[in-house]
A and B are shown apart, each in its own frame.
Chain A
Amino acid sequence: MSYAIVGQRVRRVDAREKVSGRAVYTGDLNLPHMLVGKVLRSPHAHARILSIDTSKARSLPGVKAVLTWEDTPKILWNSAGFPPSPGAVLMEDQYILTDKARYVGDAVAAVAAVDEDTAERALELIEVEYEALTPAMDVEAAMAEGAPLIHSAEKNVAAHMPVVIGDVEEGFRQADFVFEDRYYVPKVYQVTMEPCGVAVAAPDIDGRITIWTSTQMPHLVRGITAHALGLKTGKVRIIKPPVGGAFGSRLGVVNEPVAALLALKSGYPVMLKYTREESFLGTESRHPITMVLKTGVKKDGSFTARQMTAYIDGGAYATHTPSFAGPVAGWFLAMYKCANIKVDNYSVYTNSTQCGAFRGYGNPQVVFAVESQVDDIAMALGLDPLEIRRKNHPCEGEVWTWSGWEIESCGLEEAIERGAKAIGWDTKRNGQAVPSGTKKRGVGMGYMMHVSGARPMLHETSAAVVKINEDGSANLIFSNSDVGQGSGTALTQVAAEELGLAYEDVMITKTADTDVAGFDIGSHASRQAYSGGNAVRKAAAAAREKLLTMAAEILQVPVENLTVENGVVLTREGEEKSISVAEVSHKAHFGSHGHQIIGVASEEPEGNPPVYAAQFAEVEVDTETGVVEVLKVVAAHDVGTAINPTLVEGQIQGALQQGIGYALTEEYRYDPASGRPLNANLADYKILTAMDMPEVETILVEASCRTGPFGAKSVGESGLVGTAAAIANAVFDATGIRFRELPITPEKVLAALRAQEK
């Protein structure tokens, strides 16, 4: 199926303003009398706060507000951006400012002052008396007998989620072989180029407060912020300017409540902008997880039992973690068909910064473990690694255990075939790759499935208004939570396609404003093209129907004979009559009808079609230095219809940079004794530069689905989900060494090579 605008590589709606430096981000705003906010952070990973003396700070000239726990509403809340839904387990354990320090960086006090120097001086003048407590920096320490309790509960395990399908013990009895392995994936950080945590809050004289914030979820942040402040939701207005990257880091409240409280207490607008170090210290990151996988398998490679026990390090506050355990189980159990599956997930508090959403939402963790073990199983059974995946993955027409719904379309077979060819699987696998001196080469692959939204676990409401102007152009009013991925552009294409207008004649609201646009969940779970796209298409279809009805009246032809293309309403066949959209709309506004043609939709999409990917990596391992160099990555992704292939490629390519980092270079580390972060900066936390990125080849497989807008599914997160597994499997192919812990650093590789020599 080909379309006029969907499927085209149109320019982004926001490219010109960004490339010219004219896009105004939250941190660029300047309001009259705007104050500078600053947060005082705990230097201790775990400490009782015995007293806080703010008198000196308060008396410093230029200081307009000094806040501690005493000044915060005594309302517990949870920062995670979830709509009330069956899958949202929202344990409320946070105050805007804390009365106990639970990690290095925990917000203890906040100030607002006339300038940055004064605000920083005020922080220095706040005297806090701490009683340091022993920190628990990982799940072993936190779950140990006699561990220091991080919250007032009797233990540090916040939640335990068991899932049972069939009978795994029976499944293990039926197995010819049973594999049991332990995997660990570290904490990694999103590293948005605009540091996470920037908001401007301005109170108004009518008791409302407006917050400009760099967020993924304007409407949900409005609700959580209002709750934390003790306000009605409608009293808060959220405006979302361009966002400098998100990747999950802004999936919920970041620092909006602190900024708002400073603004309400001082009576002035307050800019609260975290530094790079503060964004590392005080905002959410990817969950470290220890996973024990036990898999029963027949000689032919079919699974008889699959079991995962996962210990999820959630950090100091619950936020996402108890809910996050749900998808972690879902990713695992839905990857491969098996009659007997058991998952035990433990969500554990530790004294590190709370963990939250990061692109993939647990899937990269689970896929690394599962796909590493499946490769080992294939090797042990003498099966082709590609074949064992083909044999066991769920297909179109089967029930996908993640959602419980039938799979609408599956492009995995094609992705595996084309990906394998592009990497040179048959010629490079099993040590066939040409080694050079002390370097060894290998290829590996990883497969994954991911969601298009989070139904039925979470609501996926979107709303759109399409209004046709008197000149035949149209406005698309949408709570545009584009955070860089290009969803604003894709939604504009969907609207233009449905309306039959030129792409340039449809203008989306670039800035989201909760006072203007209808309720939208925001950017999470790779949902914007699918959920947002469906609402936009329906709103556009409603406007189109009204437009055609009126055109039929003017042209004196039956409405079913009309269509609209490139701004002109014309008869499908037979008598050749036409009228421009501009003329119809002008008559609507100013003729006898006296109305504007407007289409509205607010709905949840019907399904949650999964996407598939097969990723392949070729690596070269330097046996003298231990350095793993990725030579090439091939990412073959089934995304459904690619609304804009350039945007889709961009999502995958950018995700790969994060996935390769996850495999090889990225780990946010703490000193286990003191709990202090060791690399809260971009010099020591290593993301890949332009020189580090390997050759990348993206392959788009468009297995369109029935329920998506023009057949689209999703792509936002999936580009990094299988990457670390593909690389680890390639390292195994090159060296015969299995790494079950990320990142695969030169130190680990050298140590393993030395051990192998013995």
Chain B
Amino acid sequence: MKLPITLKVNGESYRLDAEAKRTLLDVLREDLALTGTKKGCGAGECGACTVLMDGKPVNSCLVLAVDASGREITTIEGVGGLDGLSPVQEALVDHGAVQCGYCTPGVVLTAKALLDSNPHPTEAEVREGLSGNLCRCTGYVKIVEAVLAVSRASERRD
């Protein structure tokens, strides 16, 4: 059964008909060609598909597209572009926190949401915040350093 939905993604509205069983992840990737959001498990275990829904990180593989109708969705394509990267993205690049890059879009969105709600987290809070985003390349060392560096830089500006 297809249902008409309106998805608000990265500030743009999309009207489409989605099968009730389809996930937000699949609709983003297949219908809207927003392939920056990655699929790592399809079961909410790895965090590669993290997007923001009304500013909060969710595993888009666990959200039905119809349930995302009318909500504000932010994907990696909505964070930084040709005109410049966001502070979290810049920090990940500068700290060498990117390797294969498959977990990276999810990490960017999780870190963004964390810093938006808690601009100066402790290291333990950063680690807890990122604990739903599995990474197999970095040991999280440089990712944690990068997120803490963003916090420190904004502290200087505060």
Q: Do A and B bind each other?
A: yes
A: residues with CB less than 8 A from B are: 9, 11-12, 14-25, 27-28, 30, 190-195, 242-247, 275-276, 483-486, 646-647, 649-650, 653-658, 681-683, 687-691, 693, 696
Contact A9 B96, CB 8 Å, known A21-B37, A22-B36: yes
Count chain A CB atoms within 10 A of each CB in B42, B100, B104 and give the residue with the most: B100
Tell me if A486 and B102 are in contact (CB < 8 A): no
Tell me if B141 and A193 are in contact (CB < 8 A): no
Subset of 5 A-B contacts with CB under 8 Å: A9-B96, A15-B93, A19-B92, A19-B93, A483-B100
Tell me if B93 and A484 are in contact (CB < 8 A): no
Q: Report chain B residues within 8 Å CB of A21.
A: 35-37, 75-77, 104-105, 108
Q: Is B101 an interface residue (CB 8 A)?
A: yes
Q: Is B127 an interface residue (CB 8 A)?
A: yes
- A193's nearest neighbour on chain B, judged by CB, is B102
Tell me if A657 and B36 are in contact (CB < 8 A): no
Tell me the chain B residues, 87-143 only, with Cβ under 8 Å from chain A. Answer: 89, 92-96, 98-105, 108, 126-128, 130-143
Lowest 9 CB-CB distances: which A-B pairs, in order?
A21-B36, A484-B100, A18-B101, A21-B76, A244-B102, A646-B96, A653-B139, A28-B35, A682-B45
Question: How many residues on B have C-beta within 8 angstroms of the other chain's C-beta atoms?
Answer: 54
Shortest CB distance B85–A (Å): 6
Contact A657 B102, CB 8 Å, known A15-B93, A19-B85, A193-B135: no
Tell me if B100 and A193 are in contact (CB < 8 A): yes
Bound state CA distance, A18 and B98, in angstroms?
Answer: 7
Contact A693 B85, CB 8 Å, known A649-B96, A681-B41: no
Bound state CA distance, A194 and B106, in angstroms?
Answer: 13
Given contacts A242-B101, A245-B137, A276-B41, 19 further A-B contacts (CB under 8 A): A15-B96, A21-B37, A21-B75, A25-B35, A28-B29, A28-B35, A193-B48, A193-B103, A194-B38, A245-B102, A649-B96, A650-B141, A654-B137, A654-B138, A682-B45, A682-B46, A682-B134, A689-B134, A690-B126
Tell me if B77 and A194 are in contact (CB < 8 A): no
Q: Is B144 an interface residue (CB 8 A)?
A: yes
Tell me if A654 and B139 are in contact (CB < 8 A): yes
Q: Report chain A residues within 8 Å CB of B101.
A: 14, 17-19, 23, 242, 244, 484
- A644's nearest neighbour on chain B, judged by CB, is B96
- A698's nearest neighbour on chain B, judged by CB, is B141
Bound state CA distance, A36 and B101, in angstroms?
Answer: 25
Q: Report chain B residues within 8 Å CB of A658.
A: 136
Shortest CB distance A211–B (Å): 19
Bound state CA distance, A514 and B140, in angstroms?
Answer: 34
B: residues with CB less than 8 A from A are: 29, 33, 35-43, 45-46, 48, 75-77, 79-81, 85, 89, 92-96, 98-105, 108, 126-128, 130-144
Tell me if A696 and B139 are in contact (CB < 8 A): yes
Q: Report chain B residues within 8 Å CB of A30.
A: 33
- A655's nearest neighbour on chain B, judged by CB, is B139
Shortest CB distance B86–A (Å): 9
Q: Report chain A residues within 8 Å CB of B43.
A: 276, 681-683
Shortest CB distance B38–A (Å): 7
Bound state CA distance, A688 and B131, in angstroms?
Answer: 9
Bound state CA distance, A22 and B128, in angstroms?
Answer: 27
Tell me if B127 and A690 are in contact (CB < 8 A): yes
Bound state CA distance, A647 and B45, in angstroms?
Answer: 27
Tell me if A193 and B38 are in contact (CB < 8 A): yes
- A489's nearest neighbour on chain B, judged by CB, is B96
Q: Specify which of B35, B92, B100 is in contact with A244 (CB 8 Å cutoff).
A: B100
Tell me if A690 and B99 are in contact (CB < 8 A): no
Shortest CB distance A113–B (Å): 15
Tell me if A485 and B140 are in contact (CB < 8 A): no
Bound state CA distance, A234 and B127, in angstroms?
Answer: 49
Q: Specify which of B77, B96, B131 is in contact with A650 (CB 8 Å cutoff).
A: B96
Bound state CA distance, A654 and B79, in angstroms?
Answer: 26
Q: Report chain B residues within 8 Å CB of A484.
A: 99-102, 137
Tell me if B100 and A19 are in contact (CB < 8 A): no
Tell me if A690 and B144 are in contact (CB < 8 A): yes
Bound state CA distance, A190 and B102, in angstroms?
Answer: 15
Contact A690 B130, CB 8 Å, known A19-B98, A275-B42: yes
Shortest CB distance A474–B (Å): 23
Q: Report chain B residues within 8 Å CB of A195.
A: 40-41
Q: Report chain B residues within 8 Å CB of A190.
A: 136
Tell me if A24 and B81 are in contact (CB < 8 A): no
Tell me if A20 and B134 are in contact (CB < 8 A): no
Contact A20 B36, CB 8 Å, known A682-B41, A682-B43, A690-B131: yes
- A244's nearest neighbour on chain B, judged by CB, is B102
Q: Specify which of B33, B46, B95 is in contact with A193 (CB 8 Å cutoff).
A: B46
Q: Report chain A residues within 8 Å CB of B137.
A: 193, 245, 484, 650, 654
Q: Report chain B residues within 8 Å CB of A194.
A: 38, 40, 100, 102
Contact A192 B98, CB 8 Å, known A28-B35, A681-B45, A682-B43: no
Tell me if B40 and A276 are in contact (CB < 8 A): yes
Q: Report chain B residues within 8 Å CB of A682.
A: 40-41, 43, 45-46, 134
- B132's nearest neighbour on chain A, judged by CB, is A689
Tell me if B136 and A12 are in contact (CB < 8 A): no
Q: Specify which of A486, A650, A687 is in contact with B136 (CB 8 Å cutoff).
A: A687
Bound state CA distance, A25 and B130, in angstroms?
Answer: 23
Bound state CA distance, A244 and B39, in angstroms?
Answer: 11
Shortest CB distance A224–B (Å): 23
Bound state CA distance, A25 and B93, in angstroms?
Answer: 19
Q: Report chain B residues within 8 Å CB of A690.
A: 126-128, 130-131, 133, 135, 140, 143-144
Q: Report chain B residues within 8 Å CB of A15.
A: 92-93, 96, 98
Q: Report chain B residues within 8 Å CB of A24.
A: 35
